[in-house]
Amino acid sequence: MANPHSLRASEATSTHPDALVALAEVIDELMSSIGPSPDAVVLFLTAHHASAASHILREIHKRLSPDCLTGCTVASVVGGGREHQAGPGLSIWAARMPGSRVQAFHVAFNEDAGVVAGWPDVGEKASAVFLADPFSFPLEPFFASLRSRERFPSLVGGIASGANRAGGNLLFCDTKIYAQGGVGFVLKGAARIEPLVSHGCRPVGNSFRVTSCQRNQLIELGGRPAYESLREVLEGLSDVDRQRFMNGPQVGIQAVRNRTGEKGPSYLVRGVVGVDAESGTISLADVVRDGAVLQFHARDAETAHEDFDSLCAMANSYYPDAAGALMFLCTGRGLSLFQRSDHDIEILQKYFPDLPTSGFFAAGEIGPICGLPYVHGLTACVGLLVPQDDS
C-alpha cells in the first residue's frame, strides 16, 4: 500500500459516449487508486461532454473533494496509456503533494486597460500548469512581459483545443467555469512540476544572422536577400533532407536568452509560412529581430521520435522518482506525424513505466526555452511531478 504521506498521482480516463457514465467510471477508479481529498485535480474533456460540464464539476467536488481543480475542454484526450485522437474522452489526473501549497487561478485580459488580472505573484521556485483560451488571451504578449520580469514560476501547459471559435472553449477553476482567459494551478513547497519540451526538429545548413527584417518577415540574412540564403541551404542538402525540409519548413531562432540574460544553447522553433522569390523575403510564424542568429530546421517523424526518446531517457536519469505526468501534444503530432496512434505516450512509458499520465492534444503547447516561457507548435510538452530539489 502506498504511503499516504508520499508524493503520488493517479489518473483515470474513459471514452464512453455518455458523459455521466464516463464520469462515474473515472471517479470510481480514482476513488480506488488515490482516494478522496487529493491536493489537485486536472480535468480534460472533449466537446462531446461540454454540455455536461457543470454536472461533471459538481460530481468531482462532491465525490473527490479536491483542494484545487483546473482543466479545460479539448479536441482529444491522453490517458489510460493511450492517445485517444478520435471520439469522446474524459480524463482526470489527481495528485497528493504533502508539504506543498497548491493554488488554482483564473486570469483574464482587460482589453480596455491592456492588462492581465489574476496572475499569481509567485517566484521562480514555484512551478505552474497553465491552460489558455486562444481566442481571448494574448499569450505571446503576456509571456513576453513575464520574460522581462525577475519573478515568475516555471511553466508548462497547453492551449485549449475544444473549439474553433471564440467563446467555444470551457475553462475550469475550482467550482467555476469560464469561457475566456486562462486557468491553471501554482505549486510551491516539497513538490514541483518539471517541464520537458521536445521540438522534434533538426538543424540543416549553416546559421545566419538577421541583418534586415520587418516584424515576421525576413528580408536579409547575412547581408543577402533571405531567399538566396535559403536557396543556398537547399542546394547543399541531400535529396532526403531537402524533401524533409520542404514537408515541414521551420526556422530555429538561436538568440534566446535565459533568466540571467545569457544566450542559451536551445532554439526557439517557428514555422516558415511563406517564401517570396520575387521580393527575396521569407515570412515566419512569429516576429523576429535584427541581429538574431537563426538556422533552418527540418521536422519529420524520425527526428521527432529521436528527439522525444532522448529527452525522456535523459529525464529518467534526472527524475527516476517522478510520481506523475501531464502531457500536452500538438494536434499535428500523433496520427498526422507518426502515422500511428500512441507514439509519444509509449515513449514516455518506455522510460517511466506505469507513470500516471493525463493530457490532451493542444492548439499550441506551453513550455520553457532556457527557463523562459514560450508558446510552441508541433511539440510534445510534458510536466513531470517530482520532489522539489532544495539544493
Identify which of 181, 8, 164 has the alpha carbon closest to the alpha carbon of residue 110: 181
Which residue ranges make up each domain of the chain?
Answer: 8-198+304-387, 201-298
Partners of residue 263 on adjacent β-strands? 257
Cell numbers that stand for 34 in this block: 488515490
Q: What does the pLDDT look like over 102-125, one tens digit per residue?
A: 999 999 998 777 788 999 888 778
In the prediction, which pLDDT does 114 show? 77
Contact between 37 and 74 under an 8 Å Cβ cutoff? The reply is: no
Grouping H, G, I as helix, E, B as strand and the rest as coil, residue 48 is: helix
CA distance 176 to 185: 14
The dihedral formed by the CA atoms of 42, 48, 52 and 53, expressed in degrees to the nearest 10: 30
Instruction: Give φ, ψ of 35 to 5 degrees.
Output: 85, 180
In the prediction, which pLDDT does 256 show? 57
String of DSSP letters for 342-368 = SHHHHHHHHHSTT--EEEEEESSEEEE
* Residue 131: other Cβ atoms inside 10 A: 29
Contact between 320 and 37 under an 8 Å Cβ cutoff? The reply is: no
Give kind and range of the element (H or E) at residue 308.
helix 301-318
- Could you tell me the pLDDT band of residue 1, with boundaries at 50, 70 and 90? very low
Please tell me what DSSP assigns to residue 259: T
pTM (2 d.p.): 0.90
**Can you tell me the mean pLDDT for 209-228?**
94
In the prediction, which pLDDT does 118 show? 92
| Residue 101 reports pLDDT greater than 90 | yes
In the prediction, which pLDDT does 66 show? 98
Identify which of 307, 275, 260, 328 has the alpha carbon closest to the alpha carbon of residue 44: 328
- Could you tell me the pLDDT band of residue 30, with boundaries at 50, 70 and 90? very high
Grouping H, G, I as helix, E, B as strand and the rest as coil, residue 122 is: coil
Q: What does the pLDDT look like over 183-212, one tens digit per residue?
A: 999 999 999 999 999 987 888 999 999 999
Burial of 110 (0-12, 13-18, 19+ CB in 10 A): exposed
**Can you tell me the mean pLDDT for 335-364?**
96
In the prediction, which pLDDT does 258 show? 54
**Can you tell me the mean pLDDT for 206-234?**
94
- Could you tell me the pLDDT band of residue 152, with boundaries at 50, 70 and 90? confident
| Mean pLDDT of the chain, nearest integer | 92
Instruction: Please give the residue that has the higher pLDDT: either 319 or 266.
Output: 319
Q: What does the pLDDT look like over 50-78, one tens digit per residue?
A: 999 999 999 999 999 999 999 999 999 99
Contact between 166 and 107 under an 8 Å Cβ cutoff? The reply is: no
Lowest mean pLDDT among 239-243, 278-282, 342-346: 239-243
- Is the Cα dihedral 149, 152, 157, 162 positive or negative? negative
| Cα–Cα separations (whole angstroms), residue 222 to 3, 228, 271, 272, 365 | 60, 10, 20, 18, 31
Partners of residue 127 on adjacent β-strands? 154, 187
| Residue 385 reports pLDDT greater than 50 | yes
Contact between 164 and 363 under an 8 Å Cβ cutoff? The reply is: no
| Cα–Cα separations (whole angstroms), residue 312 to 178, 222, 252, 263 | 34, 36, 22, 24
